[in-house]
Structure formats: structure tokens, C-alpha cells
Structure 1
């Protein structure tokens, strides 16, 4: 934004210091003058003695002589205060504004794309130190965000390139081998394109959650949990996984669609990364003092805390948890994390001692109560009985 040039802050502070010093000096001289006028008489009797031993008396004006003496001295004092105020104000303002120069230099570097530098302002805590620390914190967050976005873009490009390369290879094979079964090629192309579509939809959902471009409404996490469990029941029955749902009424505010997607991702992950034929998924909701909690846990192989801490990264798949044909697009827990943050909540992942993982989503609660009683259910597929 173009602005008209103006005086610098240092110059304005200098003029302000000098003007204040001149005003203080003028008030002090005025007080002295008022004091002299009050206690010095208009005229005074003056007795003089000469060298010849004679003496004399006379009445002389005092105030008029006082004015002739006081006015030049007062002008000299004001001139000194002006010079002293300008010089001292210039030096003091430069010293006081030195930290702002470091902040401005750091901001100019950041505008060129360099986010790795920090101000690191020394000294005790004051307003300038708070400003510098806040700027350093902002730079650190921006650097982490940009790094994450670059890594995400690289991973997304790689993930999208894979189905496109596979599709191109299948088409090349079909073109060079006319006798090849066309149905097999079509089925494989269908599977590859379905994966690309799923990945694209996941990326769009992730972007929407990041931008917080959704309408907030009152929702009940317990109803969302039940809906997710019922929707994914066929997948659980196919893999022989039992689902247990139990929850209190958990009123929160947010996007019904996004919170349902969050719960669906958690339950689907819990079903897919489980013990086939003998595993269990537990979905529960509860209410705390100021938050509502959704907990999804599943049985499975034992996981290390180091592996669990990386599972919310985009396109991150634990090798111990990846099953052929059900690896997904690698954005399930990343979407869960983003949706949770968009709803001002917290996401916690912890390995279960007996194997599997426990995922806890904690969201701000609202005081609305639907009046629905808590309910629990257990669905055990016939294959697992």
C-alpha cells in the first residue's frame, strides 16, 4: 500500500521530548517570575555613600530593572533547553527505538520468504521484548506450517501420481496386447480410478476442514457414533469384528457432516486395523466438566508410542497396521486431526497395553441437554461367535 512520506517516529519523538522540556522550562521560569513579582516591591529606597564621606538616599524602580535582567537570562535558558531537548531527545529516541529496528529487519527478511531467522531480543521483559517474542513465535509457527504444507504437497503429488502411472501402464499393455482380457484391464482401471477419486475427495475434505468453511450447529456425538457404527456394520461383519457402542448424551457444536466423517474415519480404521475374525471395536461418548469426549479403541497388534505419534501425519501408514487391500489413502487420521482442530478440540492417540490403539477426541461442550438417556449395545458378528 502506497503512503505519502512523513516524518519518522524518531524525529517526532525528538520534537515531542524537546517541546515537553521547553514547556517545563517555560512553566518554571513563569513560576520564578510570579514569585519575584509577588515579593519584590515596585520601588526601593537605596542609600549610597561616596568616596568623600558624603552619603545620599534615593528611590529607585526595582521591577523595571528586574525585567531587564531577567528577560535575557530567561531567553538564554530557553535556548539552552531547546538545544539540549533536541540533542537529548534524538539520542534517547534512537536508543528506545533500536529494538523496533531489529523487528522491522526481521519482518523484511520474512517478506522475502526466509522464516528460519529469529530476533532473539535480549534483556528483561518489557513491551519490546513481548513484541519480539510474539514475532519469533509467529515465525516459528509459519515456518512449521509452510514446511508441513510443502511436505503435504509433495506427498499428495506422489500419491496422485501412483494411480495415474498405473492407469497409463494398464492402457499401454492393453494397446500393445490386443488379445489381453479386456475385462481384467477394465476391473483394474476401475479399482485404480476409485482409489484416485477417494484420495481427491479426502484432499478436498482436508482443505475444507483447514479453512473452517462450515456452518456450526448443535450436534450430539452419541447419535453420530451410533450412526457411524451402523453404517460400517457390514464392513465389521465381513471381517468378523465385533462393535460395542456405549455413550452418554454428548452435546457439542460444529459441523454435523464433518464430525460424522471424523467418527467414520476412526471406526473404519479401528475395524480395518484389527484382529480379523476375533477383534473388537469400542465406541463410547462421555461428558466432562466443560468438554464432551468421543473414544474409539480397538484390539490389534501391539504398537509402539513412537509409531502411534506419527499416525496423524498425512499419508503416514504404520507398516504393522497396513493390510493388503485396505491400506486406504493415508489421510484418515490426518483428516480426524484437522477436523478436531477446526472444532477447537484435542486429539489423543495412545497404544493399548494388550494391543491396538485408543483414540480420544475432546470437544468443547454446550449446556443443551436433549433428554435422551444413555444407551449401550454390542454387535457380535456370527463369524466371531
Structure 2
């Protein structure tokens, strides 16, 4: 934004310091002047004169001269003007030095801001000294830079992963078409089926990316949501998949009210239940779903499955991250299930906790703010 030129903050502070010092000096001189006027008559008075104690002795009596206010003014005014001049010089010089010293941290913060504006988010102010307003500002700016740097790195990593994931189905499609073109006897039905599967995967990935973007933006209307009803709906929808894989589902879902987007929270619940069914034991697996309302509205989805490394589990909420024990060739997914869950939880001011079960499988807990 173009702005007209103006006085610098340092100059304005200097003028303010000098003006305050001049005002204080003028008030002090005025008080001294008023104090002196109490003991000085309006006009000058002369006491004493010629004459001695006896006639003809020729002696002189002493003369006492008392100055008047005009005489006092002539003596006081020049000295007061000199004093005010000295105060002006001291005020301007000292004010300039003090203002520069006070604004030095602000200059350091400004330089850091310009460095960040040029794209370098790794720079930090790290302002030394004791706690004060400038240190608060510098620390808050450093915290903001750290978060921006982390978000920028995460976005770059996410963009790279998304590009790779989207490029894979396109490359497969290109390969299938090249093979079909070079082989006239290729079965077109098989080609169409494989192309349909690849296209479905690309569509699922695109929809997941759009849903993740919508959750991160937080642009949705908030309404009353009962998590127990969402658990019931998600369970009914995914029950055929659970029966097909031989997974039993147990639910304990008392009423749990919160505020948020019904569609997004339903997607959160569906993702958790779907992951619990897919990433389970090959036979006789189980899924337990529970809701609670103890201080915070909670949703817990726990499933049996292979043993997982706790260090690997911590990365499952990152986009396109899959633990080795959770990759299923028949239903690998797009790697965004828990990332979408975390984004939806964050958008609702909630928390997501993912932990490996000691006997195998995963336990995922989402906590959301209760109704006020």
C-alpha cells in the first residue's frame, strides 16, 4: 500500500521527549518566579541617606536598595531563557539517543519481517534481554515463523505426495493403453475393467483431497451433532464390508452431543470404522466403537490386527503414510483416512490420539468440545 511520507517514530519520540522536558522546565521556572514575587515589592525601594548621628559630624548613613519586580524580571528573564535553551538541546540530543535505544528491538523485528517476506522462514529474531513488550512481540513472531515454516514444509511434502499419488493412476492408464494398442488380440473387457479400477482410485483420491482441503479451511456451518447417531449410521453402512471380511463390530454409543458439521463428523466416523475393518486380522477380527461424554465428547474406535511399531503409528496421521502392518493389497486406500480425521478434529477444536494396542491393532480416540 502506497503511503505518503511522514516523520519517523524515532524523530517523533525525540520531539516528544524534548517537548516534555521543556514543559517541565518552564513549569519549574514559573514556580520559582511565583515564589520570588511573594517577597518582591511592586516598585524599587531605597532606604537610608545623608546625615550622621550628630550635627556637623559629616558621616553618611548606609543606603538599602530593595529591587522591584521590573528589576527582578530584567535579571531573571535572560537566565531563564538560557536555561530553557539548554533544556531544549539536552532534550533533543538525549531524546534522540533514548529513542534510538528504545526502538532498537523494533528495528531488529522489522529486519526479520522483511527477511520472512522474501521467503526465508528459517530466520528467527531471538531477542535477548528480560521480559517486556518487545520481547513478547519478538517471541510471538518467532513462534509464528516456526509454525509457518512447519506448515510450508508440510504443504510441500503434501503437494509432492499428492502429485505422486495422482501421477500413478495416470501412468498406469497410459501403460494399459499402450499395451492394448500394441496388442490387437488383447481382451477389451479386461482392459475396460482395469481402466475402471484405476479411474475409480483416481476419483477416490481426488475426492479425499477435496475433503481434506475443506476440513482444513474450516468453512462449514456448525449445528448440534449426536455422535451416537453417526456411529449407528456408519456401522450400518459398513456392516456388509465387515461381514465380507469376517469382522465383528461391537458398539457402546450413549448420547454424545457436540457442535459442528454433521457431514464432516460423519466422514470422520466412517473413516475410522472403515480403517478398523480393513486393517484387521485376516479372520475373526473385531472392532469396538464407543462414545463418551466425560468432560469432553469422545469417540473411540479400537480394532484387532497385527502388531504395530509405536514409532510407525505416530506417522499414520500424516498424508499418504501407511504402516507396513496396515498395507492391504486388496484395499490399500489412498493414504488419507487418518489425515482427514485429524483435519476434521482440528477444525472442530478437537484432538486425535492414535495408539498401538499391546496385543495388536490400533486404538483411535477423538475428543471434541461438549455443548456449552
Query: Structure 2 length as normaliser, TM-score?
Result: 0.96
Report the structure number with the largest CA radius of gyration: 2
Q: What SS does the aligned partner of 2:321 have?
A: coil
Please name the residue that 1:205 is paired with. 211
Q: What SS does the aligned partner of 2:38 have?
A: helix
2:320·2:335 contact (CA, 8 Å) conserved in 1?
yes
Please name the residue that 1:305 is paired with. 310
1:80 maps onto 2:83 in alignment: no
Distance in 2 separating the partners of 1:198 and 1:7: 59
Distance in 2 separating the partners of 1:348 and 1:39: 85
Please name the residue that 1:371 is paired with. none
Please name the residue that 2:153 is paired with. 147
1:221 maps onto 2:227 in alignment: yes
Distance in 1 separating the partners of 2:101 and 2:190: 78
Distance in 1 separating the partners of 2:47 and 2:309: 106
Cα distance change, pair 86–314 in 1 and its aligned pair in 2 (3 A): same
Q: Which has the higher contact order (CA 8 A, sep 6+)?
A: 1
In the TM superposition, what is the alpha-carbon distance from 1:197 to its structure 2 partner? 0.2
Distance in 1 separating the partners of 2:100 and 2:48: 58
Q: What SS does the aligned partner of 1:277 have?
A: coil
Please name the residue that 1:320 is paired with. 325
1:187 maps onto 2:212 in alignment: no
Cα distance change, pair 48–77 in 1 and its aligned pair in 2 (3 A): farther
1:5 maps onto 2:11 in alignment: no
Distance in 1 separating the partners of 2:321 and 2:214: 20
Partner deviation per Cα, 1:239-287 (whole Å, 9 max, x = no partner): 0000001122100000000000000100000000101221100110000
Please name the residue that 1:361 is paired with. 366
Please name the residue that 1:17 is paired with. 17
1:36 maps onto 2:36 in alignment: yes
Please name the residue that 1:162 is paired with. 168
Q: Which of residues 99, 102, 106 is equivalent to 1:96?
A: 102
Q: How many residues get paired?
A: 365
Distance in 1 separating the partners of 2:264 and 2:87: 69
Partner deviation per Cα, 1:44-72 (whole Å, 9 max, x = no partner): 4445899x953353665422111110000
Distance in 2 separating the partners of 1:103 and 1:149: 26
Q: Which of residues 223, 247, 264 is equivalent to 2:253?
A: 247
Distance in 2 separating the partners of 1:49 and 1:223: 120
Q: Which of residues 335, 354, 358 is equivalent to 2:340?
A: 335
Cα distance change, pair 48–174 in 1 and its aligned pair in 2 (3 A): farther
Q: What SS does the aligned partner of 2:368 have?
A: strand
CA RMSD of aligned residues (A): 1.5
Q: What SS does the aligned partner of 1:300 have?
A: coil
Please name the residue that 2:136 is paired with. 130
Please name the residue that 1:376 is paired with. none
1:261 maps onto 2:249 in alignment: no
Distance in 2 separating the partners of 1:334 and 1:126: 39
Distance in 1 separating the partners of 2:208 and 2:365: 21
1:348 maps onto 2:358 in alignment: no
Query: Structure 1 length as normaliser, TM-score?
Result: 0.92
Distance in 2 separating the partners of 1:151 and 1:48: 106
In the TM superposition, what is the alpha-carbon distance from 1:161 to its structure 2 partner? 0.3
Partner deviation per Cα, 1:142-178 (whole Å, 9 max, x = no partner): 0000000000000000000000000000001111111
Distance in 2 separating the partners of 1:270 and 1:60: 107
